[in-house]
Amino acid sequence: MRYARIPAPLVIPTTPAPTTHAGVFARMFREVVFFESLFKGSKWSWLFGWLFHFGMLIVIAQHLRYFTQPVWSWVTIIQWVGSYASFAMFVGLVGLWARRVLVDRIRYISAPSDHLMLALLLAITGSGLLMKHVDHTDIVLLKAFTLGLITLSWQPLPNDFVLLVHLSLVIILMLIFPFSKLLHAPGIFFSPTRNMRDNPREHRHVASWAKDLPKSADHTDGA
């Protein structure tokens, strides 16, 4: 949470910006749920980004069935959406990667790590789809293993190659997530261009650390 404690010395919301707390909340909601600024900037990027992120949200929620017993009712209800969400993730990732390769200005600013992140996410999604539709694994044994991790009661993991690859890639993703650009997920909530009110005329913005600084005395030059 170090970033959250760093003071924002200026009011720098991207204009036009709301002037009230309710307006900031509404703006953040539209940004997080609908990717409003991305929609205004690039419709194709918005489409592929939205497919990936919300497909991933459904897939992660669907995976909660492996960590709960009994399975929550709402998790059971969304199971049928899981396959469609997985394909949405895959299509979204392919589109985002194609954008980094085919669009000149995006290709110019893309680092090797950007391509590696997309490759990793595609490999995770692809291996998941492979287990779902081609090389099925023993989900009963898999759930016993995951519940055993929670209760500290070790259970055997199914010895399926695709499953082991899938889990290994997920572990790699979890390890590098805090140090990668993927951290924009929580980072958007700390963005001063989004979470600040545009009210510098109504209220003078003084950072908390600046309030404790000694005020300089006014000096007049003698003749």
Read out DSSP for 8-56? --S--PPSS--SSHHHHHHHHHHHHHH-HHHHHH-HHHHHHHHHHHHHH
Residue 221 has pLDDT above 70, yes or no: no
Inter-residue contact 169 to 124 (CB < 8 Å) = yes
Longest dimension (CA), the chain: 92
Residue 220 has pLDDT above 50, yes or no: no
Residue 29: the pLDDT is 93
R_g of the chain, CA atoms, integer Å = 23
The answer to whether domain 12-201 has CATH 1.20.950.20 is yes
- Give residue-wise pLDDT tens across range 35-65: 988 998 899 999 999 999 999 999 999 999 9
Average pLDDT over residues 12-30: 87
Q: Is the peptide bond before 112 cis (omega within 30 degrees of 0)?
A: no
Which residue in 151, 154, 146, 92 sits closest to 122, CA to CA? Answer: 92
Report residue 216's pLDDT band, with 50, 70 and 90 as the boundaries: low
Burial 94-121 (b: 16+ CB within 10 A, else e): bbbbebeeeeeeeeeebeeebeebbebb
- Give residue-wise pLDDT tens across range 134-191: 988 899 999 999 999 998 888 999 989 999 999 999 999 999 988 888 888 787 888 8
Residue 191: the pLDDT is 82
